[in-house]
């Protein structure tokens, strides 16, 4: 678990856009302590409120040190589904991003 946390910390904290916050989540009736990475709205990389289409265009084009944002979003949606969780916003976002990724470049 320590190695997983180290990789997660390296991936999420290297730009300073997030701050780690301990939260309690519930799996069924069981409360579990977890770390959430919360965006700092004062950080220069914070984009603010973007409509779904703008989010999709940015994600489709973005690639960072650890891979493409499209792949990251796909992995997130699939992992949630494997846990029996469905996030309608993320699913719709993934559909839109995938359409941009598949679209021919102009």
Cα–Cα distances in angstroms (integers) from residue 89 to residues 10, 15, 29, 32, 73, in the given order: 26, 25, 25, 24, 12
Beta strands in the chain (DSSP E): 18-27, 30-39, 63-64, 67-68
Tokens of 14: 């290297």
Are the beta carbons of 52 and 92 closer than 8 angstroms?
Answer: yes
Report, as residue numbers or ranges, the catalytic residues: 12
């Amino acid at each position: 678990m320590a190695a997983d946390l180290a990789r997660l910390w390296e991936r999420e904290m290297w730009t300073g856009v997030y701050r780690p916050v301990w939260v309690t989540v519930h799996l069924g009736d069981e409360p579990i302590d977890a770390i959430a990475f919360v965006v700092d709205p004062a950080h220069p990389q914070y984009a603010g409120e973007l409509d779904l289409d703008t989010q999709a265009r940015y994600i489709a084009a973005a690639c960072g040190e650890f891979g493409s944002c499209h792949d990251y979003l796909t992995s997130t949606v699939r992992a949630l589904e494997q846990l029996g969780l469905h996030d309608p916003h993320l699913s719709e976002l993934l559909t839109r991003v995938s359409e941009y990724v598949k679209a021919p470049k102009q």
